[in-house]
Amino acid sequence: MLYFRFPFSEKIYTTDENSDKNPVSFFSFDQSEVIDFEGDIEEITIEDFAKQHYNSDLLSSNLMEFWEEKQPKYQEKLVEVIDFIKINDLSKLVISRRKLLNFNGSKINLSETFLNLCEAYPNAFVYFFIKDGKCWLGAFSEVLGKFNKKTSQFETMSLAGTIPVNEDWTSKEIEEQQPVTDFIHDVLKEFSEEIEQSETYDHISGNIKHLRTDFKVKIKAENLEKIISELHPTPAVCGIPKDFCKNAIRQFEKHSRNLYAGYIRVETEDYIQYFVNLRCAEFFKNAALIYVGGGITADSSVEKEWNETELKAEAILKNIAFT
Ligand SMILES: C=C(O[C@@H]1C=C(C(=O)O)C=C[C@H]1O)C(=O)O
């Protein structure tokens, strides 16, 4: 089963599993895994949703012998990553880790956690699914693509750079977001002669903010999936050159990213939307793994990068409802 809520909406939707249509699909970061949800999208009232009482003890698998990357080890690795960035003259490389939340014998109310996330992040795409023994929840507002089927308008955004909401931008964040903007612009110009690009502005997400630039273009419907496959993974979650950075990520991260930093495709009557799957966690019977990362540059401070991942983990952690 799957439940989700669109940005700036109050409505919760599910898929009825009554046909072989796939209106919602989750793509893993490396695109080796796709999880499809079948049927038609239908609305469910908050009351009906809340009655379902999904708790973590319903989940079938336990997380076994998990080795968590703690602050000293993570920072040591980031020192190596910064050297690698300098040697290879990269503008940025996005590195992630998994933060462990051990339930210590308690249970999590997953339904309430989903509702808490909906309330805390009105601008986010929020989801919760349990399928084939897997359970994921996530809430974030980064859009990889929004295609209007009637007008063929395609929108996307460059979102990167992270600081606490009450701090001021430095050149580090500005230089971290610019390659994302340039990359997106370069991809879009292959598909459209006219690119509408906004000013760069603040995008607030809970306790932190990011730099954001919006893009609008007219495209041919038949190019949509090609554009998405060229955009993903953008340097907001990977780096450039794309394939070189994907390999570097595989080398530095000892875990699989699974669905983290992948994307979610949602098709409705009027739109096909693609949401970047960040601020997300995989839930087990006894624990959860929260996936968090950040763009590393030659100017990164390893301690600040650690703190950034801690702040990003808070997005999920502070909305978890214990029973
Ligand atoms: C990689 C993540 O977030 C992405 C990376 C950001 C950054 O490096 O500053 C900011 C927003 C997201 O595009 C994450 O949340 O794990």
pLDDT digits (tens, 9 = 90+) for 85-110: 999 999 999 999 999 999 999 999 99
Q: How far, in Å, from the CA of 72 to the mean position of ligand 1?
A: 21
The pLDDT assigned to 101 comes to 98
Which ligand 1 atom is at minimum distance from the Cα of 276?
13
As to burial, measured by CB atoms within 10 angstroms (0-12 exposed, 13-18 middle, 19+ buried), residue 10 is exposed
The pLDDT assigned to 255 comes to 95
C-alpha 75/C-alpha 81 separation (Å) is 10
CA angle 308, 187, 89 (to 5 degrees): 55
- Measured from CB, residues less than 6 Å from any atom of ligand 1 are 94, 96, 142, 159-162, 210, 236-237, 278-279, 292-295, 312
The pLDDT assigned to 129 comes to 98
DSSP 8-state secondary structure symbol assigned to residue 57: G
Which mutation among 97, 98, 162, 310 tests ligand 1's pocket best, with the greatest number of atoms within 8 A of CB? 162
The pLDDT assigned to 251 comes to 98
Which mutation among 85, 93, 94, 95 tests ligand 1's pocket best, with the greatest number of atoms within 8 A of CB? 94
The pLDDT assigned to 94 comes to 98
Residue bearing the CA closest to ligand 1, atom 11: 160
pLDDT digits (tens, 9 = 90+) for 131-182: 999 999 999 999 999 999 999 999 999 999 999 999 999 999 999 999 999 9
Which mutation among 210, 263, 316 tests ligand 1's pocket best, with the greatest number of atoms within 8 A of CB? 210
The pLDDT assigned to 237 comes to 98
The pLDDT assigned to 159 comes to 98
Which CATH number is correct for 2-317, 3.30.379.10, 3.60.120.10, 3.90.180.10, 3.20.20.70? 3.60.120.10
Domain ranges of the chain: 2-317
0.90 cut: is pTM over it? yes
The pLDDT assigned to 124 comes to 98
Please list the ranges in the chain whose pLDDT falls under 70.
Answer: none
> What's the distance, Cα to Cα, between the start and end of the chain in Å?
21
